[in-house]
Chains A and B, each alone.
Chain A
Amino acid sequence: MISSLSGIWVFLAKSPLLWLTLTLLVYLAAVWLYRRSGASPFLIPVLTAVSSLIGILMLSGTPYPTYFEGAKFIHFLIGPATVALAIPLYGQLERLKQIWLPVGVALLAGSVAAILSATLIAWALGGSLETLMSLAPKSATMPIAMAVAERLGGLPSLAAAAVAVTGITGTIMARPLLNALRIDDPAVRGFAVGITAHAIGTARALQVHETAGAFAALAMGLNGIATALLMPLVVGLLKMMGVVP
């Protein structure tokens, strides 16, 4: 009995179906918990689901690459979902036509602030050069941040970790911080969240408010482009300041 159970486990643990199904079930449980809590930002589904999955993988002794063999089918959908962001964006077209200049200036300020603040804080606390360069693009979406970090001498996978931590903490702090600053306009709130916390912030903004979601999607898309283009300039500036060799 025991040996046949472990035989089933050996089979399942290797099959993509187990980890694919488990990711979906853990996500559904995380969403249920999130709704039960009245949409508490501390229980955003990505945070609870990832913590649970890491726990499950560690307890079962499953290496991450084995897990990813199954979960990659979900991961693949990030591409089409990114393309789909054009639709909420199009919904804000009329408003965008009126405010393209404020949006452009805020994008520039936010993008530079994201890169500079991350590198300067890590530098002041003695982070290594590899860590600095992995942290610099942390407010961009994951595929962009990984590519940019690698080009500048960072580690792509560490950049992915920085993107994840930034996305989660940025999403958690957005509501209390923006409330404290008395920023009420959903467009401004969404835009700031999208620049700061990329797709994770956008996913939450889309759940909370339609306009906020559309502006978060807009901000995230634009910040991805801006980060890729601005990074070499900002790193040049950091070299002049003596922060990076």
Chain B
Amino acid sequence: MIYAIATLFVFQLIGEVAVQALGLPLPGPLVGMLLLFVALLLYGRVPDALSRTTGTLLQHMMLLFIPAVTGVMMHFGRVASEWQPFLAACVGGAAVTLVVTAFTLRWMLRLQKKQTP
């Protein structure tokens, strides 16, 4: 477990340093994820210890968002005064995004299947 946690922290740290040093418009952890992905490609498999600990962590990912999402309470005022455009954009936007993404991917997968029989 400690081995796995250390690995994740090290990659996050490298990601944060890379973002700062190169002025990338991305968050450090995302760069860390890409770097770990590349490292796994080079290593050729996922070490057991890493796979077990990250499995638990990802199973409970929702827990990690609770503190930030609770911060919504700071914006009750703004959301109250503009709740219609705000809510419609979130809900309507989510529906449009789901439909567009799902249809595009399914359509592209079918197109590819036809071309490579």
Where the two chains meet, the residues of A that have a C-beta atom closer than 8 Å to any C-beta of B are 23-24, 26-27, 44-46, 49-50, 53-54, 57-58, 64, 67-68, 71-72, 74-75, 77-91, 93, 99, 101-103, 105-106, 109-110, 113-114, 117-119, 121-128, 131, 135, 138-139, 141-144, 147-148, 151, 155, 157-158, 160-162, 164-170, 173-174, 177-178, 181, 183, 185, 187-189, 191-193, 195-197, 199-200, 202-204, 206-207, 213, 217, 219, 221, 224-225, 228-229
Contacts and interface: CB of A to CB of B under 8 A. Distances in A.
Given A53-B70, A71-B70, A125-B88, A200 B102 contact: no
A157 to B, nearest CB: 6
18 contacts: A24-B63, A50-B72, A80-B12, A83-B32, A85-B33, A87-B36, A90-B40, A106-B104, A106-B105, A110-B104, A126-B84, A138-B90, A147-B27, A169-B94, A183-B106, A188-B109, A195-B97, A203-B58
Which DSSP category, helix, strand, loop or mixed, fits chain A's interface? helix
A107 to B, nearest CB: 8
B61 A188 contact: no
Contacts of B93: 114, 117-118, 121, 135, 138-139, 166
Contact of B82 (A58, A117, A131, A178): A131
A224 B92 contact: no
B21 interface: no
Interface string B21-57: 0000111111011101100110000100011001001
Interface residues of B, number: 72
Contact of B73 (A64, A106, A135, A147): A64
Given A138-B93, A177-B98, A188-B109, A67 B70 contact: yes
Interface string B75-117: 1001100101111111111111111111111101101100000
B27 A50 contact: no
A197 B61 CA distance: 13
A50 B70 contact: yes
A157 B71 contact: yes
A131 B89 CA distance: 10
A54 B105 contact: no
A159 B66 CA distance: 16
Contacts of B32: 79, 82-83
Contacts of B25: 147-148, 151, 228-229
B68 interface: yes
A45 B33 contact: no
A128 B95 CA distance: 22
